[in-house]
A and B are shown apart, each in its own frame.
Chain A
Amino acid sequence: MNSKQQAYDYAREAFFSPTGLSEQHLEQVFSQLLTQDTTLADLYFQSARYESWGLEESIIKSGSYSIEQGVGVRSVCGEQTGFAYSGEITLPALLESAKAARAITRAGQSGSVNAWKISAPQRQLYGMDDPLASLSEDDKISFLRQIDSIARAASPYVQQVMANMVAVHEIILVVDETGRMTADVRPLVRANVSVIVERNGQTESATAGGGGRFSLDFFTHGNKAQEYAEDAVRKALINLDAEAAPAGSMTVVLGNGWPGVLLHEAIGHGLEGDFNRKGTSAFAGRIGEQVAAKGITVVDDGTLEQRRGSLSVDDEGTQTQCTTLIEDGILKGYLFDRQNAALMGTQSTGNGRRQSYAHLPMPRMTNTYMRAGAYDPAEIIASVEKGIYAVNFSGGQVDITSGKFVFSASEAYQIENGKLGKPLKNATLIGNGPDVLTRVSMVGNDLQLDTGIGVCGKDGQSVPVGVGQPTLRIDGITVGGTATA
């Protein structure tokens, strides 16, 4: 069976079989929803099952299971959006939601959809099997216990180990005003460990983890218990020896992989189509301008197989793609959903995403990363006379209008005379999105993506994302430590 039919069959099974809904009913809903002013409209059916297990103090302290299911109904007239949703998937609930969503336009009902077309991704980026069932409960629990024992064996200073494993199986069906019906079946798994270490009354912590759109045996086959446990303990112990970070503007070398959160905050959000259509982003109207040093190329790529930020189709049924944001230092493009693309006279880039059926889609990132450059990472560190080397971050935030962004280092080191020195305590880096990349003087040849733990928040909605970059040297960014000397 081809994957197109298979995903749609999953969706029918989830949304239509139990409720008795049919295509004929959808026609009724669309004739309630559409008016002569409607520019786009869709129904978003979602069913998601979540399971999580948590270990703490060497016991399985928590477990949870939940089902989120419902349908969101949207009507768009140009810039205006009407939206209603229901946790009940029934014809009366759909009709009521359609009537409420249509209220955005003063025009009367007009229009219908009566030809349906099953559409599907050209590329299926992940399997459809239920990840919740991909390991037995005993194996899930024994994975968490393994993390615990490895972490505790790794150092006598380990006081607390908290580990959890989460699996989500989601089925979506988007039905739009053209009669296009697009289904997607999405697995998502994640495992995290957080350790607290104590030595001579001093306490520190660190986390590690990973995940993606695959089954849970990724963790057990790949010996991830050991990798995550040892990584978390290593980082926590380093923090015990860390000194106060310096304060002021200095040269910073960012490690590869997760430090790509820089791109997400400094560049990515500012290039989302909604902010640029409205002209409220510091990047608005700057296509074609140089916003990064020559040689720098940044993309948002939703098409990477099995990555946490990837989607075979976005939440509006649009094929995802690899969108070039910055090419050789020049600003090339924005990220679009259907509505903002239409308003700016262009096509969706497959970045229309939403947290759930109860939220409206918006332009959102998928996997955002910088392409590799020419330098050996060791050469980059060796080039710095005095500065810091930041390899892990705990997250960031941006003001898209002023362009100012921050991100907080959780693992960093001094660099003196080209050599790595003492570890430094949590320091926040702050900069200006539209010019920080113009100060990049060296780009490493070691592009890496993060391990699959990213969550992006915007307007109260959270979605999974990925980031990545090679090692980078930035000449002058403000480091917010406490040591002013």
Chain B
Amino acid sequence: MIELENRFDIATEFQAMAERVLEAAQAKGATAAELDLDKGMGLSVEVRMGQVDKLQYHRDQGINLTVYFGHRKGYASTGDFSPQALEDTLEAACRIARYTSEDDFNGLADADRMASYLPKLDLYHPWELDADRAIEMALQTEAVAREHDARITNSEGAGVDSYAGMSLYANSHGFMGINHATRHSLSCSVVAQDGASMQRDYWYSVSRVPGLLESADSVGAEAAQRTVRRLNARSLSTREAPVLFVPQMARGLVGQLISAISGSSQYRKASFLLNSLGQQAFPGFVQLREDPFIRQALGSRSYDAEGVATQARDIVKDGVIQDYFLGSYSARKLGMQSTGSASGATNLLLADTGVSFPGLLAAMGTGLMVTELIGNGINGITGDYSRGAVGYWVENGMIVHPVEEVTIAGNLKDMFKGIVAIGDDVDERGSIRTGSILIDKMTIAGQ
């Protein structure tokens, strides 16, 4: 079993270490200091073509330390917890702070914003799993995938991962929080061939709770189906058409929104949604909520990287942007309050518009359903969007053929306004939970 043995002893040890380092920082003249300490261990098993391919044991630890001398800041980190290394790291952070500039916006988050109530988020569920059982499970997953269809001719393998970790955050306001969490996953990637066409695709399941993982049979079968259906894909002629992003790709669109309304993009004026609070960026039916407190969820967190309490809140209501994602630095720059987002967004939930996936296909009529995107052709400042796409050409609500070697292009501002419907086929695996998103029109470039 992958578990942090004696994790309560480690927690006690971490607390003492954190207190010592914070005191030592103040003894060196720092006016404030904050740090995080992490420790984790994990097991990864990969099998390929019915044989064990890789067996890896992970064991990680690190400390990240920030010191403030008034409004000057220094940062240093190390993976070595010996007293000498901690001393050297503190010294390095202090040295750095001698050369950084005075910046009035620097400092710990305000003391009155520290999380005082830490709800139980139930994130720690070690897996009763040894290497042999993990191998067995991975072998089963891959076998199901390979036997699923005669056109599955090769495999990138199947894997089982289990990780258990703890992290402590403390600062010189006296805030200290400790978090224990696990993360387990099962994945499979196979290759299908039909004549000259060779395709690869994958599926995975991830959860903090082993019992909530999809079964080996289900992950293997899904990986196989997704791979086989891509065979004999072809390009399209260049055209404009509606585009349907399946949930895994729709997640990326939500991610682009978050990045555009995050504090650093706003204060740097590097956002296609600059000063967008209160603006109608989406059609009136779009509702996006952040909920940091979902038990067992991947994005759950009761305080952020500065100890600030996270909050459940509306991000987009009736299509209007309600709130940004701010840590204390960007909040001060913007004359606002931290939203408890110094570690980024927690769990995000995009409400569906009451339509099933087949309903979305029917609503699209004729257009491109996108199942994979490659490349980084997104300009966060202008919103210009142009990425390589893989998917299916749809006519009259029916899939006609798989598509590859096309790009889809548009501008994220127009794409957001052009959302027609959001499916109820929500992918619950990640911290961004959304169904498929149908967009009225994009440019598809092909042969």
Contacts and interface: CB of A to CB of B under 8 A. Distances in A.
B381 A396 contact: no
A170 B443 CA distance: 47
B386 A481 contact: yes
Nearest to B93: A65
Given A59-B101, A282-B198, A481-B445, A104 B156 contact: no
Contacts of A398: 374
Give the dominant DSSP class at B's interface.
strand
A480 B374 CA distance: 12
Nearest to B66: A64
Nearest to A70: B79
Interface stretch (A33-41, A83-91, A219-227, A438-446): A83-91
B382 A406 contact: no
A28 interface: no
A68 interface: yes
B100 A248 contact: no
A137 B77 CA distance: 19
A196 B388 contact: no
Contacts of A97: 57
Nearest to B63: A66
Contact of B75 (A65, A83, A405): A65
Given A204-B382, A247-B238, A80 B100 contact: no
A70 B374 CA distance: 34
A63 interface: yes
A92 interface: no
A484 B127 CA distance: 53
Interface residues of A, number: 77
B154 A87 contact: no
Contacts of A205: 270, 379, 381
B75 A79 contact: no
Contact of A358 (B60, B92, B387): B60
B443 A481 contact: yes
Given A280-B156, A406-B407, A484 B443 contact: yes
B386 A428 contact: yes
Contacts of B269: 159-160, 196, 198, 203
B337 to A, nearest CB: 21
Contacts of B76: 64-66
A280 B57 contact: no
A88 B444 CA distance: 52
Contact of B57 (A67, A84, A203, A394): A84
B447 A249 contact: yes
Which of A398, A425, A482 is the most central at the interface, judged by chain B CB atoms within 10 Å of its CB? A482
B8 interface: no
A396 B404 CA distance: 16
A279 interface: yes
A481 B411 CA distance: 11
Interface string B349-381: 000000000000000000000000011110101
B131 to A, nearest CB: 6
B199 interface: yes
Interface in B71-126: 73-80, 85, 88-89, 92-93, 95-103
B101 A60 contact: yes
B53 to A, nearest CB: 6
Contacts of A428: 375, 377, 386-388, 407, 409
Interface residues of B, number: 76
Contacts of A251: none
A79 B59 CA distance: 24
B55 A83 contact: yes
Contacts of B56: 82-84, 360
B376 A395 contact: yes
Given A86-B59, A406-B377, A427-B386, A81 B101 contact: no
B404 A402 contact: yes
A196 B156 contact: no
A83 B98 CA distance: 41
Contacts of A248: 238, 445-447
Contacts of B24: none
Contacts of B443: 247, 480-484
Contacts of A278: 48, 154, 156
Contacts of A394: 376-377
B407 A430 contact: yes
Nearest to A93: B59
A160 B267 CA distance: 10
Interface string A387-414: 0000000111111011011111000000
A404 B388 contact: yes
A66 B268 contact: no
A282 B191 CA distance: 11
B414 to A, nearest CB: 10
Contacts of A66: 76-78
A65 B199 contact: no
Interface in A52-108: 53, 56, 59-70, 79-88, 97, 100-101, 103-104
A103 B102 CA distance: 54
A482 B274 CA distance: 23
A62 B73 contact: yes
Contacts of B407: 247, 406, 428, 430, 478-480
Contacts of B214: none
B133 interface: no
A247 B241 CA distance: 13
A401 B386 CA distance: 22
A64 B75 contact: yes
B406 interface: yes
B54 interface: yes
A53 to B, nearest CB: 8
Contact of A63 (B75, B238, B375): B75
B136 interface: no
Nearest to A194: B270
Which of A101, A405, A480 is the most central at the interface, judged by chain B CB atoms within 10 Å of its CB? A480
A276 B404 CA distance: 22
A198 B445 CA distance: 30
Nearest to B95: A65
A69 B54 contact: no
Given A478-B445, A482-B409, A80 B404 contact: no
A212 interface: no
A83 B230 CA distance: 34
A164 interface: no
Contacts of A480: 377, 386-388, 406-409, 443, 445
A245 B387 CA distance: 13
B184 interface: no
A357 to B, nearest CB: 10
B57 A83 contact: yes
A24 B278 CA distance: 69
Given A65-B93, A280-B200, A402-B200, 18 more contacts: A60-B99, A63-B74, A63-B97, A79-B51, A80-B52, A84-B59, A100-B57, A247-B444, A358-B60, A399-B390, A401-B191, A425-B382, A425-B384, A426-B377, A428-B388, A430-B445, A432-B405, A483-B443
22 contacts: A60-B101, A67-B77, A79-B48, A79-B53, A81-B55, A83-B57, A104-B54, A104-B55, A204-B382, A358-B60, A360-B54, A360-B56, A395-B375, A395-B376, A397-B376, A402-B404, A406-B374, A426-B377, A430-B445, A478-B405, A482-B386, A482-B411
Sorted nearest first, the 3 A-B pairs with minimum C-beta distance are A480-B407, A406-B375, A406-B388
